[in-house]
Chains A and B, each alone.
Chain A
Amino acid sequence: MTLPEAKEKWSGQINTVTIGATKTEGGTRGRTVTVGGQTGIPLLSFDGQTPHPAVIAIDVVDKEPVDWAKPLAEVYADVWSDPAAWAGRAKELGADLINLRLTGTHPDEGDRSPDEAAQTVRAVLEAVDLPLIIWGCDEPAKDQLVMPKVAEAAQGENCLLGAATEDDYRTIAAAAQAYGHKLIALAPCDINKQKQVNILISDTGFALEDLVIYPTTASLGYGMEYIYSILERGRLAALSGDRLMAQPVILDVGYEAWRAKEARTGDEVADAWGPVAQRGPAWEAVTATDLIQGGADILVLRHPAVIEAVRKVIAQFQATGS
Chain B
Amino acid sequence: MIIFSERVNGMYRDVRAAIKDRDKEVIHRLAEEQLDGGADVIDLNIGPVKGDAVDHFIWLAQTVHEITDKPLSLDSAKAKLLVEVVPKVHEALPDTKLVINSCTAAAEYMDKLLPIAAAAGASIIGLTMDQDGVPGNVEKRIECGATFLMSAIENGISPDDIYLDPITLPINAAFKQQENVVEAIRQLALVNDPPPKFIIGLSNVSTKCLMNKLLNRTFLVMCLTAGLNAAIVDAADKDLVEAMITAEVLLGKHLYSDDYVKAWRIQKGLSVSDEATTQTAQTQ
> Which of chain A's residues has its CB closest to B269's CB?
A243
Chain A residues lying within 8 Å of B254, measured Cβ to Cβ, are 242
Closest beta carbon of chain A to B259's beta carbon, Å: 5
Q: A192 near B255 (CB under 8 angstroms)?
A: yes
Chain B residues lying within 8 Å of A237, measured Cβ to Cβ, are 255
Kindly supply a per-residue 1/0 record for chain B positions 262-282, scoring 1 wherever the CB is within 8 Å of any chain A CB and 0 otherwise.
110011000010000111000
How many angstroms from the CA of A192 to the CA of B277 in the assembled complex?
15
In the complex, whether B258 has a CB less than 8 A from a CB of chain A is: yes
How many angstroms from the CA of A234 to the CA of B257 in the assembled complex?
12
> Which of chain A's residues has its CB closest to B254's CB?
A242
Q: How many inter-chain contacts with C-beta < 8 Å in the A-B complex?
A: 43
Q: B263 near A233 (CB under 8 angstroms)?
A: no
Neighbour of B257 across the interface among A203, A233, A243, A244, CB < 8 A:
A244
Chain B residues lying within 8 Å of A242, measured Cβ to Cβ, are 254-255, 267
Q: B266 near A233 (CB under 8 angstroms)?
A: no
Chain A positions 159-213 with a Cβ under 8 Å from a chain B Cβ: 166, 191-193, 195-196, 198-200, 202-203
Q: B277 near A195 (CB under 8 angstroms)?
A: no
Chain A residues lying within 8 Å of B272, measured Cβ to Cβ, are 203
How many angstroms from the CA of A242 to the CA of B255 in the assembled complex?
8
Tally of contact residues, B, Cβ under 8 A: 14
Closest beta carbon of chain A to B72's beta carbon, Å: 22
How many angstroms from the CA of A200 to the CA of B259 in the assembled complex?
9
Kindly supply a per-residue 1/0 record for chain B positions 245-267, scoring 1 wherever the CB is within 8 Å of any chain A CB and 0 otherwise.
00000000011111100110011
Tally of contact residues, A, Cβ under 8 A: 19
Q: B279 near A202 (CB under 8 angstroms)?
A: no
Q: B267 near A192 (CB under 8 angstroms)?
A: no
Chain A residues lying within 8 Å of B255, measured Cβ to Cβ, are 191-192, 195, 233-234, 237, 242, 244-245
In the complex, whether A304 has a CB less than 8 A from a CB of chain B is: no
Kindly supply a per-residue 1/0 record for chain B positions 90-117, scoring 1 wherever the CB is within 8 Å of any chain A CB and 0 otherwise.
0000000000000000000000000000
Chain A residues lying within 8 Å of B259, measured Cβ to Cβ, are 196, 199-200
How many angstroms from the CA of A245 to the CA of B254 in the assembled complex?
11
In the complex, whether A37 has a CB less than 8 A from a CB of chain B is: no
Q: A244 near B277 (CB under 8 angstroms)?
A: no
Q: B266 near A192 (CB under 8 angstroms)?
A: no
> Which of chain B's residues has its CB closest to A12's CB?
B267
Q: A200 near B266 (CB under 8 angstroms)?
A: no
In the complex, whether A275 has a CB less than 8 A from a CB of chain B is: no
- Which residues does A use to contact B, with CB under 8 Å? 166, 191-193, 195-196, 198-200, 202-203, 233-234, 237, 241-245
| A-B pairs, 3 with minimum CB distance | A195-B257, A196-B257, A237-B255
Q: Contacts A198-B257, A244-B266 known; list 18 others, CB within 8 Å.
A: A191-B255, A192-B255, A192-B258, A195-B257, A196-B257, A196-B259, A199-B257, A199-B263, A200-B277, A200-B279, A202-B266, A203-B272, A203-B277, A234-B255, A237-B255, A242-B255, A244-B257, A244-B263
